[in-house]
Structure 1
Amino acid sequence: MRFSLVLAALLCFVTWMSAVHATHAPVASCCLGRSDTKVHPKNILDYYYQDEGACKITAIVFLTKGGSRICSDPNSKWAKRVILKVDEKKALQEMGQVEEGSPSNTTPTVSLPLTNAPQQKRRNGKGGRRGQNKCV
């Protein structure tokens, strides 16, 4: 009886500590501050919003081609412009994927090199091919 009471108390304590630690510990992916770093929009792959609910600050998090994260002020002109560029790029990619999968009514064209193309005359008036007689 005493053993089960100690075990139950220990289990309750561990559960309570893990719940307290989970709610008050900082989330690993949260931005702790905002950066003034500005990179070219072509180097941004994606973005997401960080709310104050789980993290301490509100930010827009940009994911770069190099694998870094840039935490920016969501109200800055640069962040708004980059969001528009990334959204445009995503929309174009989605349209491209839809068009690639759909059947097309166009016939592909192939250009072949001309084998009997006429040769331009040189300055001396002779044709461009050496060693061949001209047909008259």
Structure 2
Amino acid sequence: MHPIHELAAVLYPLPEPGSVTPDDCFDDAREQIEVLRKQYADNLDAAAMGTDGEPLILALEQARAQKEAADRRIRLIFAYAREFYPPRRYPLRELGEASGYTTSGVTAAYGEQQIKLVQSQIHRAPRRSALDGDPS
């Protein structure tokens, strides 16, 4: 098997028997994963040829970019949950448990930049002015 296809197999593992519900969808699930593997391998191969890059290094760079994008989304969700979400302000403990952050990590993860970005997307002011000093 070609290394790009092996990498695709690592990143898109086939489902195990008994892991798909209902059982009669198992073959469809395997087929979908095979399609994802082929698409991933084809895209990675094309990117490597187009940039003369090493496929494994490109895969790591893509994974890092996805990780950074996920981190940005988490920070925006924190800002929304703490500063905008009606009808209540989510407790730090609950957000920390759901995200894998500590409670202090939640408060440190977002700031004015994220609050302003959320505000610009939902077109309303944060509830922050009414809640300043609330440590929950």
With the length of structure 2 as denominator, give the TM-score of the two structures: 0.29
With a CA cutoff of 8 Å and minimum separation of 6, indicate the structure with the bigger relative contact order. 2
Query: Which of the two has greater helix per residue?
Result: 2
**Highest Rg: 1 or 2?**
1
With the length of structure 1 as denominator, give the TM-score of the two structures: 0.29
Query: Which of the two has greater strand per residue?
Result: 1
